Amino acid sequence: MTSLESKTLAYKIADLALDKKAKQIIVMDLNGMTGIADFFVLMSGDSDTQIKAIADHIVRELKGQKIRVYHKEGYNSLRWVLLDYVDVVVHVFKPETREFYGLERLWGDAKIDFVMDIENAG
């Protein structure tokens, strides 16, 4: 997947997260920083139910477009669900778990784009 294709996928995922009212959505551009992925997409959900709904929606919608998740984890605790699309890795957090692990701080040199959610618009 090219960097442009990865970027397109990352923003498609952010849009899908908005469908389920995810909060604090950011796209982190990791190109040239690591071999882990080109992009991280981070977001928060308020409850186990919402976190599962966000992750399930992303997986289902992308599968319908013939884009399959390579690996997923975190469904047993629903504090941090990770969806690995190889060049794009999705992180769906409970707010306190997101704060504790601080991926935004850990990858502070990455270019970060804040995707507006309805609650924080305006």
Cα 12 → chain centroid = 10
pLDDT per residue as tens digits for the range 4-47: 799 999 999 999 999 999 999 999 999 988 888 999 999 999 99
- Give 3-120's CATH code, choosing from 3.40.1360.10, 3.90.1150.150, 3.30.460.10, 3.20.20.70: 3.30.460.10
Distance CA 103, CA 82 (A): 13
Structure tokens, 22? 């995810």
Structure tokens, 112? 């970060």
Cα–Cα distance list, 1 to 48, 102, 116 (Å): 32, 27, 26
Q: pTM value?
A: 0.92
Domain residue ranges in the chain: 3-120
C-beta of residue 55 within 8 angstroms of C-beta of residue 81: yes
pLDDT per residue as tens digits for the range 43-99: 999 999 999 999 999 999 999 999 999 999 999 999 999 999 999 999 999 999 999
